[in-house]
Amino acid sequence: MRVIITSQREGQQEIGAAFEAIVGSERARFDEHTRQRYARSTGLECVMPAGVLYPQTTQEVVEIVRVAGRLKVALHPISRGKNWGYGDACAACEGQVILDFSRMNAICELNLERAYVVVEPGVTQGQLAEYLATAKSGLWMDATGAGPEASLVGNILDRGFGHTRYGDHWQTCCGLEVVLADGSVIHTGFGDFENAKADMVYKYGLGPALDGLFSQSNFGVVTRAGIYLMPEPEDFCAVFVRAARDADLEPLITCLASLRLQGILQGAVHIGNDLRVISGKASYPWERTGRCVPLPDDIRAELRREHGVGVWNVATSITGPREIVAAVRKRTHRELRPFRPVFVSNRSMVHMRRLQGWLRLAGIAKRLQGKIDLASALFNTLKGIPSTGAIRGAWWRVRSVKDPTALDPLDNDAGLIWISPALPADPAHARRVLAILSPIYSKYGFDTLVTFTLITERAMICVSNISFDRTDPEDCERAKRCHADLLKSLLQEGYVPYRCGAATFEHVVKDPSPFWQLASRIKQALDPTGIISPGRYLPYGQMLRNNEEGAV
């Protein structure tokens, strides 16, 4: 038994016809144009799929999976394919058939009392935000920086994170519906019990908690999920810090980690460096640097001044009833006093926006206008409102940007690879990670764009990215070597990515260690033919070996 690469295989027409019989020709695309479109990547390599299917119901997914099993065709499910920098819409390997869930995008249930929605995988951040607003739900969601077109379920299953009290997305999902490789449909948690009353409010159910199997894996196709929402808080206050010195990072992390650990700050806390913030507003200053890379220190300092950005920049928020927000704010202020934190309440944001209107009318104070713009975008993000603000950071190093207002980095040929190790919420580890990253980025002519996010009470995720120009083959080559070098050095010191695309995964997991052997045994038990996304978050070689042994 081997995994079949359908593109290199005879009988392509038979395969196309079999899938067409399920979803119709309009929703089964095997043409060159469609395949090319899904092959596009912000990463190092494009991955050509065999075709794309657009299922609309769980039953269709069941039938597709069964046909795939019969014909030995590998499927790769995507929610919306906006997983930029982590593999985009690309299949894990060449020749897989993509299951694009964009047409399976119903919001199946909104529960106002217990504050959750049940959604299909094609539902986007923007769609849910609009739905909640239109329904006057009084509920808030959490959003990532990937903009309104990005999916909710895809991000949850990849265990991504956002900016609010519900920032750790995996924590906020409940009650998965999953199609397995044999076509059976399971419900995690209590969902298996007929008529269960707690299926969407209590995640674990009875017996083994199996949800985790379907995150960062290829064990099944998730076709429905519950997502928790927050009641709109009575009061909201954004917290910003702009730290002037690099050495401020240590006391900042110490202080913020302590506030998180004590449960005083409950939301995700983001600490971005200067270039992370600036890249969201501007492209690399090619002219000013005389086309030299990486960015020289003096110009970097000038950019900071021009954009009103610190060496380190903190954004988080406080939510709750007025008196509690006031108390938390007071305490946070006391702890952060050396860094002169700025607190922006709903009321002050109204004033700021009014001021900005006047300035705009008068055509003055452009820089102040820009600062208000940035604060306003961040303010929304901290409230879980999906924004397009962070997307342009993806083409920081693209030389000729085709569309500065694009919502898709692919439209600007952005080269983007996220490197995102997890580390303890400890300043010494943050400094060590920087000491690994920066010299390597510099060596290959790239800039260090980095955020440390205090995502739990004990852990930080460092999100950094190789930003390169995909139209420049030399840039691509340097990105490739930089990528390998970064991963090697980080792993050597025990800083493992919390998430990665297939191209990165190959560098991270090589040995058939006991954990990955266990994962492979589960894969073998659930999907012996390797129908679902072979290569995604599971050592591919290991699986092949298992299969060969299994076939003996």
Is residue 319 within 8 A of residue 267, CB to CB? The reply is yes
Query: For residue 551, which phi and psi values (nearest 5 degrees)?
Result: -80, -20
Q: Which of residues 267-306 bind a second copy (CB under 8 A)?
A: none
Establish how many alpha carbons lie within 13 A of residue 285's alpha carbon, considering only the half-sphere containing its beta carbon.
16
- Number of Cβ within 10 Å of residue 436's Cβ equals 20
Q: How far is the CB of 92 from a second copy (least distance, A)?
A: 13
Q: Which of residues 458-477 bind a second copy (CB under 8 A)?
A: 458-459
Query: Residues 372, 537, 542, 547: which binds a second copy (CB under 8 A)?
Result: 537
Q: How far is the CB of 525 from a second copy (least distance, A)?
A: 4
With CB under 8 A as the rule, give the number of residues binding a second copy: 96
Site stretch for a second copy (CB under 8 A), options 202-210, 235-243, 355-363, 391-399: 202-210
Is 262 among the residues that bind a second copy (CB under 8 A)?
yes
Q: Which is nearer to a second copy, 212 or 404 (CB)?
A: 212
Is 110 among the residues that bind a second copy (CB under 8 A)?
no
Query: Residues 5, 107, 110, 261: which binds a second copy (CB under 8 A)?
Result: 261
Q: How far is the CB of 267 from a second copy (least distance, A)?
A: 10
Report the greatest alpha carbon distance in the chain.
79
Q: How far is the CB of 193 from a second copy (least distance, A)?
A: 5
Question: Between the CA atoms of 420, 425, 427 and 430, what dihedral angle is there, to the nearest 10 degrees?
Answer: -10
Is 173 among the residues that bind a second copy (CB under 8 A)?
no
E strand or H helix that includes residue 493: none
Site stretch for a second copy (CB under 8 A), options 99-107, 181-189, 308-316, 347-355: 181-189
Is 343 among the residues that bind a second copy (CB under 8 A)?
no
Is residue 355 within 8 A of residue 259, CB to CB? The reply is no
Burial class (CB in 10 A: 0-12, 13-18, 19+), 351: exposed
Question: Between the CA atoms of 72, 78, 79 and 83, what dihedral angle is there, to the nearest 10 degrees?
Answer: 170
Q: What's the rounded Cα separation, in Å, for the pair 93 and 111?
A: 39
Is 72 among the residues that bind a second copy (CB under 8 A)?
no
Query: Residues 108, 130, 133, 193: which binds a second copy (CB under 8 A)?
Result: 193
Pattern 477-516, a second copy, x by CB under 8 A: --------------x-xxxxxxxx-------xx---xxxx
- Number of Cβ within 10 Å of residue 36's Cβ equals 12
Q: Which is nearer to a second copy, 112 or 135 (CB)?
A: 112
Query: For residue 423, which phi and psi values (nearest 5 degrees)?
Result: -150, 160
Q: How far is the CB of 528 from a second copy (least distance, A)?
A: 10
Is 387 among the residues that bind a second copy (CB under 8 A)?
no
Residues 6 or more apart whose CB falls under 8 angstroms from that of 48 comprise 7, 35, 36, 39, 94, 95
Q: Which of residues 112-131 bind a second copy (CB under 8 A)?
A: 113-116
Query: Residues 30, 38, 214, 418: which binds a second copy (CB under 8 A)?
Result: 214
Burial 168-189 (b: 16+ CB within 10 A, else e): bbbebbbbbbbbbbebebebbb
Distances (CA, A) of 159 to 155, 182, 215, 286: 6, 25, 7, 36
Q: How far is the CB of 285 from a second copy (least distance, A)?
A: 35
Is 337 among the residues that bind a second copy (CB under 8 A)?
no
Q: How far is the CB of 197 from a second copy (least distance, A)?
A: 4
User: Which SS3 state, helix, strand or coil, does residue 49 take?
Assistant: coil
Query: Residues 107, 196, 365, 377: which binds a second copy (CB under 8 A)?
Result: 196
Is 550 among the residues that bind a second copy (CB under 8 A)?
no
Residues 6 or more apart whose CB falls under 8 angstroms from that of 401 comprise 283, 395, 412
The pair of three-digit structure tokens given for residue 211, joined into one six-digit string: 């949800």
Helices (H), 470-539: 473-492, 502-508, 514-526
The single-letter code of the amino acid at 398 is V
Is 205 among the residues that bind a second copy (CB under 8 A)?
yes
Q: Which is nearer to a second copy, 224 or 397 (CB)?
A: 224
Q: Which of residues 431-460 bind a second copy (CB under 8 A)?
A: 456-459
Query: Residues 185, 282, 352, 365: which binds a second copy (CB under 8 A)?
Result: 185
Smallest Cα–Cα separation from 60: which of 17, 38, 27?
A: 27
Q: How far is the CB of 279 from a second copy (least distance, A)?
A: 26
Is 541 among the residues that bind a second copy (CB under 8 A)?
no
Is 187 among the residues that bind a second copy (CB under 8 A)?
yes
Is 141 among the residues that bind a second copy (CB under 8 A)?
no
Q: Which of residues 1-30 bind a second copy (CB under 8 A)?
A: none
Query: Residues 422, 476, 484, 544: which binds a second copy (CB under 8 A)?
Result: 422
Q: CA angle, corner 455, sides to 379 and 191, nearest 5?
A: 100
Is residue 143 within 8 A of residue 386, CB to CB? The reply is yes
Smallest Cα–Cα separation from 146: which of 79, 214, 99?
A: 79
Q: How far is the CB of 262 from a second copy (least distance, A)?
A: 6
Site stretch for a second copy (CB under 8 A), options 47-55, 57-65, 185-193, 354-362: 185-193
Q: Which of residues 304-333 bind a second copy (CB under 8 A)?
A: 319-321, 323-324, 326-328, 330-331
Pattern 219-238, a second copy, x by CB under 8 A: x--------x-xx-x-----
